[in-house]
Structure 1
Amino acid sequence: MHRSGATMAWNVFKFCTALRGLGSIMILLVLGVVGVSYYSVVLTNFGPALYDGGLDSLTAVVVLILFHCLLVMLLWSYFSVVLTDPGSIPANWRPALDEERGEADPLNNGSEFNGLQTNPSNQRIRYCRKCNQLKPPRCHHCSVCGRCVLKMDHHCVWVVNCVGALNYKYFLLFLFYTFLETSLVTLALLPHFIAFFSDVEIPGTPGTLATTFLSFVLNLAFALSVLGFLIMHISLVAANTTTIEAYEKKTTPKWRYDLGRKKNFEQVFGTDKRYWFIPAYSDEDLRRMPALQGLEYPSKPDFDSQEF
């Protein structure tokens, strides 16, 4: 039995190592899909159509403007997720006192730091045995990154990073603009795709025709798959929960951080509407909304339950 457990731990370790090893390969794959789409939409089909005149030129202008605008927002959001640290526990972090409940500081009640993880009286204090440190609320340890991440949602191989408190909004925007961009490409190339199965003679070389066909299939597949993820994460934002928390709390009808859909949305996107659709926050929101920093989260005042 012990040997079986050791084998499972070793397999998990190798799996996590493999995920870390993907690294820039996934980034190159994303850029490859973008490149194929750009070649088929801009260089092969709608770029040359600008010189056809009439309705074809007007359609090409509209498609190219939308394509480039969405592409800029997609890449901006994507690299914001890739390059932004999802949130790490500050050095020497300690839980704040809850003066309204009259709670004493558990670190000054005669209990040793290493005893916090097993002391039943300190159920509100969370401790990571792997990192050997205290954990803020909603913080989880990522086995791939090898560290605790603030408000961790999941580790995403596509962005080669954890999705957490500081880059979750950017991840959602990446999904949103990816869905819009892939849907646009799918609809724009649909007539060309249909022409493959008709008797109409299609202009172009075999290489450009193959690229157009491949681009349509890839974008259709991404649009459908991203739509599923987008719907799932919209429901998570509406309930102010993460993928991990939704799994852990299972069928629990109440959730202490569910403040209503409007406030739940603001916990992720901020209150400044000018920044809702760009991967950034206003200075005012960062200053007055602790939840955006990933360490403190408002909860229902009348809800008394144990933290995860």
Structure 2
Amino acid sequence: FNFLRKFGSTVIHSIVIVLCLGLTYCNIYGAHNMSIANYNPFFKTFFLIIYYYLVINYLSAFLQAVFADPGRPPKNPEDNFTPRCQKCNLLKPVRTHHCSMCGKCCMKFDHHCPWVANCVGLKNYGYFLKFMGIGLVASTLSLVIIIVSIMMGLNCPECIPSIKHITRLITIVFTATSILCTVTMLVSHIPYVKYNQTTLESYDNDFEVRKAKRNGVNYEYPFDKGLKRNLEEIFGKKILLSWLVPFWVNKLDVDGMSYVHNKNTKL
């Protein structure tokens, strides 16, 4: 059963990755071949540079989120670290959780994401956020390009009219849906980034926030170090370059074995 589960998980993940890449291609085709290609030379060049830069940056973040180590605990630690996971026997430092999909523990585990076929944890959370953020910008630009081309009556001379309209309609629906889902996901992660918490940790923190509010006190998030330092824990010290440069590798100072935490909180 474990073999079938792992095999089924691999198949599903492969299908999802191919689907993401296929939909990305459809989005590019709809924006470029059916819209940008019909702009005047100046705007065509302008939009092509921006659009394909975003696409390359988006795909780089996607591939990094898929293939980067999410933060597996070391198998042979230098110090005598005693806590271990009862399921996978890997080290289990603070903020580490066992992923039932991967069958392994992940440091600063946020969730297992089917869209990147990987755990989202300490070492690839920044790539995951960049994947969503750049994808949102690229999808929005694509939608604007297509809608503007329709309003301006720009037609694709090589396209059959009926197929052209159907393709544009499908692209608009897909892109708008993608934007809505991405915005929802990104908004949900704002408090996680702001207070340096994971999705799992937010459940306990939300309970503690309500409890503190009833007692008339302010709740201090255990690992909140301020917005700038929280962002550096996700993207490294070169936050801007991490977002702007395709395939940029985030260099994190934290090793996942221990974290700076507020002294007034209980861990």
Q: TM-score under structure 2 normalisation?
A: 0.83
| Residue correspondence of structure 1 range 17-96 to structure 2 within 5 A | 18-49=8-39, 56-93=40-77
- Quick one: which amino acid aligns to residue 153 of structure 1? D
Residue 248 of structure 2 is matched in structure 1 by 280
Instruction: State how far apart, in whole Å, the 1-side matches of 2:33 and 2:24 are.
Output: 13
Instruction: State how far apart, in whole Å, the 1-side matches of 2:232 and 2:89 are.
Output: 32
For the 8 Å contact 1:140–1:149, the answer to whether it is kept is yes
For the 8 Å contact 2:221–2:265, the answer to whether it is kept is no
2:167 to 211, 215, 221: 211
Is 2:263 the counterpart of 1:295?
no
RMSD between aligned alpha carbons? 2.8
1:145 to 83, 102, 113: 102
| Residue correspondence of structure 1 range 80-229 to structure 2 within 5 A | 80-93=64-77, 126-192=83-149, 204-205=159-160, 206-229=162-185
User: SS state of the match for residue 211, structure 1?
Assistant: helix
Deviations 1:224-252 (A, max 9, x none): 11011112222211100011111233322
For the 8 Å contact 1:193–1:216, the answer to whether it is kept is no
Per-residue deviation, 1:68: 0.3
Check 1:281–1:80 CA distance in 2 against 1; reply closer, same or farther (3 A cut): closer
Per-residue deviation, 1:127: 4.0
Per-residue deviation, 1:14: 8.2
Check 1:201–1:80 CA distance in 2 against 1; reply closer, same or farther (3 A cut): closer
For the 8 Å contact 1:20–1:145, the answer to whether it is kept is no
Per-residue deviation, 1:19: 3.9
Per-residue deviation, 1:137: 1.1
- Quick one: which amino acid aligns to residue 169 of structure 1? G
- Quick one: which amino acid aligns to residue 196 of structure 2? N
Instruction: State how far apart, in whole Å, the 2-side matches of 1:61 and 1:40 are.
Output: 17
Instruction: State how far apart, in whole Å, the 2-side matches of 1:149 and 1:128 are.
Output: 11
User: SS state of the match for residue 35, structure 2?
Assistant: helix
User: SS state of the match for residue 26, structure 1?
Assistant: helix
Deviations 1:6-65 (A, max 9, x none): xxxx9xx9888744430211111011111111212222221243xxxxxx4333222222
User: SS state of the match for residue 140, structure 1?
Assistant: strand
For the 8 Å contact 1:40–1:208, the answer to whether it is kept is no
Deviations 1:271-307 (A, max 9, x none): 224533145346xx54xx2x2x32221112x32412x
Check 1:20–1:188 CA distance in 2 against 1; reply closer, same or farther (3 A cut): same
For the 8 Å contact 1:40–1:211, the answer to whether it is kept is yes
Per-residue deviation, 1:183: 0.4
Query: Could you tell me the percent identity over the aligned residues?
Result: 29
Matched residues, number? 252
Check 1:47–1:193 CA distance in 2 against 1; reply closer, same or farther (3 A cut): closer
User: SS state of the match for residue 129, structure 1?
Assistant: coil
- In the alignment, structure 2 segments of 5+ residues that lack a partner are 209-218
Is 2:211 the counterpart of 1:262?
no
Instruction: State how far apart, in whole Å, the 1-side matches of 2:79 and 2:97 are.
Output: 16
